[in-house]
Amino acid sequence: MSSDPDRECPVDGGIDQQEMVSSKKSAVLVDGVILNGPTTDAKAGEKFVEEACRLIMEEVVLKATDVNEKVCEWRSPEQLKQLLDLEMRDTGEPHHRLLELCQDVIRYSVKTNHPRFFNQLYAGLDYYSLVARFMIEALNPSVYTYEVSPVFLLVEEAVLKKMIEFIGWKEGDGIFNPGGSVSNMYAMNLARYKYCPDIKEKGLSGLPRLILFTSAECHYSMKKAASFLGIGTDNVCFVETDGRGKMIPDELERQIWQARKEGAAPFLVCATSGTTVLGAFDPLDEIADICERHGLWLHVDASWGGSALLSRKHRKLLHGVHRADSVAWNPHKMLMAGIQCCALLVKDKSDLLKKCYSAKASYLFQQDKFYDVSYDTGDKSIQCSRRPDAFKFWMTWKALGTSGLEERVNRALALSRYLVEEIKKREGFKLLLEPEYANICFWYIPPSLREMEEGPEFWAKLNLAGPGCPQLGQLSSPPHDL
């Protein structure tokens, strides 16, 4: 990398057409390509970006808060394929045609920033995170080495440090990953490495059956992780939950003993703070006691519930989280940082992440650079190029302050509370259980069933109600809580 403008540079895509013609350089022809000929019309490219940005601003950002706009102009896959010009051809399209395509893409896409958009655990628009995301795209960094991402690596360090503070650890380590599922995988692999570092080199072949414990209400990524990591889904032990979806600690301990008796090797307990469907919080303190007794790694999947840590009112939901060995927490859900923004936080400060993940590639992580190479965090990751997702959260935190983030959480949970009370009052709706977080599970009872007794026939009929009549509704983050 060089920033010396005086260096010779005979071939330069930056020189525009005008300059090339007047410079009277002779053409350099290699393999049929005129190297010093004009490559692109930068002015036209810039104009295209400007026009497209105007379109994005008008059609997506400015319409975001308008409830009279549609969330989505729905078309089936077959219809949409007819409406969109998806095909890639031999010849390119002119800019005006590309802008029409952009318009079509926007028209038929779901406006996830619309006040009435709900989806599995995300919604809403955060202006600050959006700006951060535009900056990331314009700068196009990769956070593997400090030399190519100086600012973004320092930002990641600062954000991780702050999140660690809210977990209640004095120090720690961490990394931003492309999704909470990936964070859970990282944690599972870390726990395995801690249990037996040799596995990194030797693999699992010939070892006793490793086994891990999580609740029956955990996220499906635990199964995906066990399968991907070669542990096998049969070795995920699903611990029974109580009526509110919380892991039963006695059941956990019973299952650990049972596994030991069967000759398996327990190495990890994964508790959930904010389960996907019910929004339940496992009792972390009691689970931590058990993990201590049995010498097991405690991972807390707080991908969804972690944001409650920012609220003095609600952080008690995660009471005991400071006793975890690792925590997954996704600011892209309730805190609206933009998909994806997901941290894995690790209590260990003996460089466990690096020891577990490093491959020491010498072409990228040279040890004789002219700065402190501990800032080259890429070797802590399973990825090579990696996006600076922490920056999206940093910008929002800067804009709102901790107090603003706290308000966001409080408001989301107050809105949920309000909805619960409305459901109770309204005919034809039946609350499944009193929620402790922002997931509200209820049944819609069709008029034909409203007079029927709640016996087996009632439930069978309710279950048969077709699509378009949602049975189990789930309200996640608030429609538009900014």
Span of 102-110, 243-251, 292-300, 449-457 interacting with a copy of itself by CB under 8 A = 102-110
In the list 23, 25, 67, 450, the residue contacting a copy of itself (rule: CB under 8 A) is 67
Binding to a copy of itself, residues 29-58 (CB under 8 A): 30-33, 35, 39-40, 42, 45-46, 48-50, 52-53, 56-57
In the list 134, 257, 458, 459, the residue contacting a copy of itself (rule: CB under 8 A) is 134
Instruction: State which residue, 185 or 346, has the beta carbon closest to a copy of itself.
Output: 185
Binding to a copy of itself, residues 180-239 (CB under 8 A): 180-182, 185, 189, 192, 199-210, 219-221, 223-235
Interface with a copy of itself: number of residues (CB under 8 A): 192
Binding to a copy of itself, residues 384-403 (CB under 8 A): 384-387, 391, 394-395, 397-403
- How long is the chain? 482
Distance, in Å, from the CA atom of 319 to the CA atom of 325, rounded to the nearest integer, reads 14
| Nearest residue to 381 (alpha-carbon basis) of 142, 99, 152 | 142
Tell me if residue 17 falls in helix, strand or coil: helix
Instruction: State which residue, 13 or 446, has the beta carbon closest to a copy of itself.
Output: 13
Q: Tokens in use for 242?
A: 């109580």
Q: Tokens in use for 147?
A: 């030399």
- Least distance CB 406 / a copy of itself (angstroms): 9
Distances (CA, A) of 416 to 15, 410, 474, 477, 480: 57, 10, 11, 9, 13
- Least distance CB 256 / a copy of itself (angstroms): 18
Sequence-separated (6 or more) residues with CB below 8 Å from residue 445: 428, 429, 430, 462
Span of 70-78, 286-294, 344-352, 453-461 interacting with a copy of itself by CB under 8 A = 70-78
**Residue located via tokens 């189990």:** 472
How does DSSP assign 65-96, residue by residue?
Answer: T-TTS-S-----HHHHHHHS-----SSPPPHH
Binding to a copy of itself, residues 328-357 (CB under 8 A): 332, 338-340, 357
Binding to a copy of itself, residues 166-185 (CB under 8 A): 178-182, 185
| Nearest residue to 363 (alpha-carbon basis) of 175, 145, 143 | 145
Percent composition of the chain: helix, strand, coil (DSSP 3-state, to 5): 45, 10, 45
Q: Is 313 in the site for a copy of itself (CB under 8 A)?
A: yes
Instruction: State which residue, 107 or 290, has the beta carbon closest to a copy of itself.
Output: 107
Span of 18-26, 247-255, 317-325, 472-480 interacting with a copy of itself by CB under 8 A = 472-480
In the list 18, 293, 316, 371, the residue contacting a copy of itself (rule: CB under 8 A) is 371
Distance, in Å, from the CA atom of 251 to the CA atom of 241, rounded to the nearest integer, reads 9
Tell me if residue 195 falls in helix, strand or coil: helix
Binding to a copy of itself, residues 423-462 (CB under 8 A): none
Neighbour tally for 301: CB within 10 Å? 32
DSSP H helices, 196-283, are 199-202, 221-228, 249-261
- Least distance CB 192 / a copy of itself (angstroms): 8
Q: Is 62 in the site for a copy of itself (CB under 8 A)?
A: yes
- Least distance CB 459 / a copy of itself (angstroms): 17
- Least distance CB 13 / a copy of itself (angstroms): 3
Binding to a copy of itself, residues 238-267 (CB under 8 A): none
Q: Are 124 and 333 in contact (CB under 8 A)?
A: no
Instruction: State which residue, 33 or 451, has the beta carbon closest to a copy of itself.
Output: 33
Sequence-separated (6 or more) residues with CB below 8 Å from residue 34: 27, 28
Instruction: State which residue, 249 or 478, has the beta carbon closest to a copy of itself.
Output: 478
